[in-house]
Amino acid sequence: MGKENFAGTGIWKLLSYESQVDDGSVTYPLGKDAVGQIMYDTKGNMSAQLADTHRLSFASNDVRRGTPEEINAAFKGYVAYFGTYDVDENKRTVVHHLKSSLLPNWVGIDLIRYYEFAGNRMTLRSAPMLLGGKKIVITLVWERIS
């Protein structure tokens, strides 16, 4: 499918971000009221940013003067990456090809997301992955804003 026909093209705001462990328990990695935005354009570019709304400000307004604790908390409360994407309509997947990321280990990798659309909402789910020694699935629900 051409990217110009992908129903996800546009800008979306985050409604929910949850992690379901294989034992059935659900957690909210950035809190129940996480915020975020994801964008797909018709030329195959994408970007995503998600944040914990309760991140604390640094004591200094100088970004290079955060304490190790402040930097650690800011890093753990934010997810950001950008790159290109491809869509497989038959598999109902969108693959994010990361050019850069807040997490350096993600630079150059592909993130596969299974998509569903319902009205003005898009749900993206990860394949099961190992995180912290547990198998989890990440589910993100987005609402179209443009």
* pLDDT tens string 59-111: 998 988 999 999 999 999 999 999 999 999 999 999 999 999 999 999 999 99
Q: Rounded to two decimals, what is the model's pTM?
A: 0.92
Rounded distance, CA 41 to CA 43, Å?
5
Closest Cα to residue 137, out of 116, 114, 103, 108?
114
* Domains defined for the chain, CATH in brackets: 3-144 (2.40.128.280)
Residue 61 Rama label (left phi>0; alpha psi -120 to 50; beta): alpha
